[in-house]
Amino acid sequence: DWTPGNVIADQVAAIRAQIGDARVICALSGGVDSAVAAALVQEAVGDQLTCVHVDHGLMRAGEVEQIENDFVASTGVNLVIRDEKERFLAALDGVRDPETKRKIIGREFIRVFEDAQRDIVAEAGAHGEQVRFLVQGTLYPDVVESGGGEGAANIKSHHNVGGLPDDLQFELVEPLRTLFKDEVRAVGRELGVPEEIVSRQPFPGPGLGIRIVGEVTAERLETLRKADAIAREELTRAGLDGEIWQCPVVLLADVRSVGVQGDGRTYGHPIVLRPVSSEDAMTADWTRLPYDVLSVISTRITNEVSEVNRVVLDVTSKPPGTIEWE
């Protein structure tokens, strides 16, 4: 009988048998998979687990707080947050090429995570404890895909928390290996993981770094974060979250257009809305959002985000367009 409760009971027993009394580390991205994997391991071995969140400064509004406050409050995990915003901005300085951005963000992520790992190992060692395990939120479709699937994997270099260093020092703990996404969500709810995390739509590992067409700067991130927060708020308010797979909001930082606001001419940037419907992200169609919702989003973004004077809608399916712009 498949129930979230049974899965939790089985996995808790399996995790305890695997880990014993060793210490274990988990990278928390803010996404569903790593959060539910961490919550399961926490349920099984409690304080033996230390979670690490690398704050690369490329998350959307409120997301780091969701992990830092809500997730910790509901699961009780030990969380270390590495504030590395400046480091990522410096590494991305002057970079405009999408693949280069992806590689830099992935590389810096691994370096920061390795530093954090080293600190945790040293701290545990000082107490005579060993850190031997690394939690990964690998799902069943990931297992199938990496077993020889080609797919679209080579179109963009992917970065996610699964893409961690091949460190032989650690043995992997993968409590979600037999589950599909909707099952992971059910398990997460049963474990009390906050609904905003459990029902979160897909979000790329390189974050807003690949939703700014052009160079990534602190100011541009702030502009995009404001526009994205408005779009998400209005989609939720209109009850449309269930209808869209995700809706990337993209800042065309290298493009400017002329506008008029109040009694003055503006020369600002466009924001692109990219709402898509999909089953598995391999193919997608653009979502026919109601005009009145698009209108509210457009009005609010151009009124409330000073750098933006135009909002455009992406009406391209995948293929030929990918879901993300970079």
Residue 33 labelled as part of a binding site? yes
Give the binding-site size for ligand XMP (rule: CB under 6 A). 15
Instruction: Return the structure tokens found at 251.
Output: 């800042």
Q: Does 318 bind ligand XMP (CB under 6 A)?
A: yes
CB of 51 to ligand XMP, least distance (A): 18
SS3 256: coil
Is the Cβ–Cβ distance between 283 and 319 less than 8 Å? Answer: yes
Q: Distance (Å, rounded) from C-alpha 242 to C-alpha 236?
A: 9
Q: Does 244 bind ligand XMP (CB under 6 A)?
A: no
The smaller minimum CB distance to ligand XMP, of residues 85 and 156, is found at 156
For ligand XMP, the binding residue among 27, 51, 173, 323 (CB under 6 A) is 323
| DSSP one-letter code for 191 | T
Q: Burial letters for 92-126: b for 16+ Cβ neighbours within 10 Å, e otherwise?
A: beebeebeebbebbbebbbebbeebbeebbeebee
Q: Does 209 bind ligand XMP (CB under 6 A)?
A: no
Q: Does 234 bind ligand XMP (CB under 6 A)?
A: no
DSSP strand E in the chain: where?
23-27, 49-55, 78-83, 131-135, 171-173, 249-251, 257-261, 264-273, 276-277, 285-286, 308-313
Residue 31 labelled as part of a binding site? yes
Q: Does 103 bind ligand XMP (CB under 6 A)?
A: no
CB of 158 to ligand XMP, least distance (A): 4
Q: Does 246 bind ligand XMP (CB under 6 A)?
A: yes
Q: Does 287 bind ligand XMP (CB under 6 A)?
A: no
Nearest in space to 120 (alpha carbons), one of 170, 154, 179: 170
Give the total residue count for the chain. Answer: 326
CB atoms within 10 A of CB 207: 21
Distance from the Cα of residue 286 to its chain's centroid: 21
Taking CB under 6 A as the binding criterion, the range among 73-81, 170-178, 202-210, 254-262 that sits at the site for ligand XMP is: 202-210
The smaller minimum CB distance to ligand XMP, of residues 158 and 181, is found at 158
At residue 108, φ and ψ (nearest 5 deg) are: -65, -35
CB of 309 to ligand XMP, least distance (A): 26
For ligand XMP, the binding residue among 81, 91, 229, 281 (CB under 6 A) is 281
Is the Cβ–Cβ distance between 310 and 270 less than 8 Å? Answer: yes
The smaller minimum CB distance to ligand XMP, of residues 212 and 323, is found at 323
For ligand XMP, the binding residue among 206, 268, 270, 275 (CB under 6 A) is 206
CB of 110 to ligand XMP, least distance (A): 13
Q: Does 207 bind ligand XMP (CB under 6 A)?
A: no
Q: Does 30 bind ligand XMP (CB under 6 A)?
A: no
Q: Does 159 bind ligand XMP (CB under 6 A)?
A: yes
Q: Does 266 bind ligand XMP (CB under 6 A)?
A: no
Q: Which residues are annotated as a binding site for ATP?
A: 29-35
Residues that bind ligand XMP (CB under 6 A): 152, 156, 158-160, 202, 204-206, 246, 281, 318, 322-324
Q: Which residues are annotated as a binding site?
A: 29-35
